[in-house]
């Protein structure tokens, strides 16, 4: 897919952050948009930012953890636009907790959104993408889908799962010569609201972290603007890349993990302690 003009793109998590910037940049390149998010007000704000572009836009309040709702959204998108070329499974949440301190309810909550939401979005839209003759699935994993982090076992598990799911999917699509491709996206620290909206368990005190201050600490490493992340993602789609890393932090930690796969955790532990040390 060398350009997005007159293509139809569906985006989850479009009410803010990377999802919003994807919508803006796709509209600038002539793509029609089906946008969804749990945050209705955020969707309306995104819609208002798109009003000057000559493209068709729909917005839908959507819980990606609800399989029936995702399938219904995919069907309504096809009925409204007549085709779908791209699905950006971008919606996600975060949880900071030790393994011991994490409840099963919390684990199910994050998996339902971060992993199952991606699975539902992929499977619901895939038949329409194949029908278009030129389709692409873009699934947001994370730097934490490449390297493990203390306090992030659940988030790591969901993002490692998204990466494996997407890479296997891409292989299948290539073997089928399906006219559809897939890209796994691995952002590092992107300047979005995910840290502020993350669930923080009191159990992370055992790791020397303060739940009340943790989001503020992690915000310090969110350096890459979401508009930069969106541009990198869209360029990767045009180049049909299997995997895209966003931000120097993602590239550096990925390199460390590749060079010393059995020892990179020591580097991560050092950086975590430096980031969360008490002032």
Distance between CA 197 and CA 195 in Å, rounded? 5
* Cα distances (Å, whole numbers) of residue 44 to 28, 60, 97, 182, 187: 18, 10, 33, 29, 25
CB count, 10 Å around CB of 277?
Answer: 10
> Has 120 been annotated as catalytic?
no
Spatial separation of the C-alpha atoms in residues 31 and 5, rounded to whole Å: 5
- Angle (CA) 266-213-146 rounded to 5° is 35
CA 170 vs CA 3, 119, 122, 176: distances in Å: 20, 13, 11, 10
Strands 180-187, 95-96: pairing kind? unpaired
- Those residues with Cβ within 8 angstroms of residue 55's Cβ, 6 or more apart along the chain or in another chain: 27, 30, 31, 32, 33
Q: Which residue has the tokens 């799962």?
A: 161
Catalytic residue (choose from 53, 120, 128, 155): 155
State whether residue 135 is helix, strand or coil: strand
As given in the structure block, the two tokens for residue 58 are 């729909």
Distance CA 259, CA 262 (A): 9
Residue closest to 19 by CA, chosen among 53, 64, 54: 64
Six-digit token string for 269? 């532990």
Report the distance separating Cα 6 and Cα 34, nearest Å.
13
Which amino acids are annotated catalytic?
A: 155
């Amino acid at each position: 897919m060398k350009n997005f003009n007159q293509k139809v793109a569906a985006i989850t998590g479009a009410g803010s952050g990377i999802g919003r910037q994807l919508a803006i940049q796709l509209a600038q390149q002539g793509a029609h948009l089906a946008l969804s998010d749990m945050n209705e007000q955020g969707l309306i704000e995104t819609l208002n930012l798109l009003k000057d572009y000559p493209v068709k836009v729909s917005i839908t309040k959507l819980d990606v953890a609800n399989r029936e709702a995702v399938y219904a959204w995919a069907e309504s998108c096809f009925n409204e636009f007549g085709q779908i070329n791209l699905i950006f499974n971008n919606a996600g949440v975060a949880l900071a907790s030790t393994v011991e301190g994490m409840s099963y309810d919390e684990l199910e909550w994050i998996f339902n959104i971060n992993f199952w939401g991606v699975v539902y979005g992929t499977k619901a839209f895939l038949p329409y993408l194949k029908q278009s003759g030129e389709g692409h699935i873009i699934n947001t994993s994370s730097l934490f889908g490449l390297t493990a982090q203390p306090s992030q076992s659940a988030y790591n598990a969901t993002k490692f799962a998204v990466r494996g799911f997407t890479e296997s999917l891409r292989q299948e699509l290539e073997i089928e010569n399906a006219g559809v491709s897939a890209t796994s996206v691995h952002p590092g620290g992107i300047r979005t609201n995910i840290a502020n909206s993350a669930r923080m368990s009191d159990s992370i005190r055992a790791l020397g972290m303060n739940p009340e201050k943790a989001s503020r600490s992690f915000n310090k490493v969110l350096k890459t603007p979401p508009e930069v992340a969106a541009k990198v993602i869209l360029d990767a789609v045009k180049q049909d890349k299997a995997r895209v890393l966003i931000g120097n932090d993602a590239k550096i930690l990925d390199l460390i993990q590749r060079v010393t796969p059995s020892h990179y955790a020591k580097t991560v532990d050092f950086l975590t302690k430096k980031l969360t040390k008490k002032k």
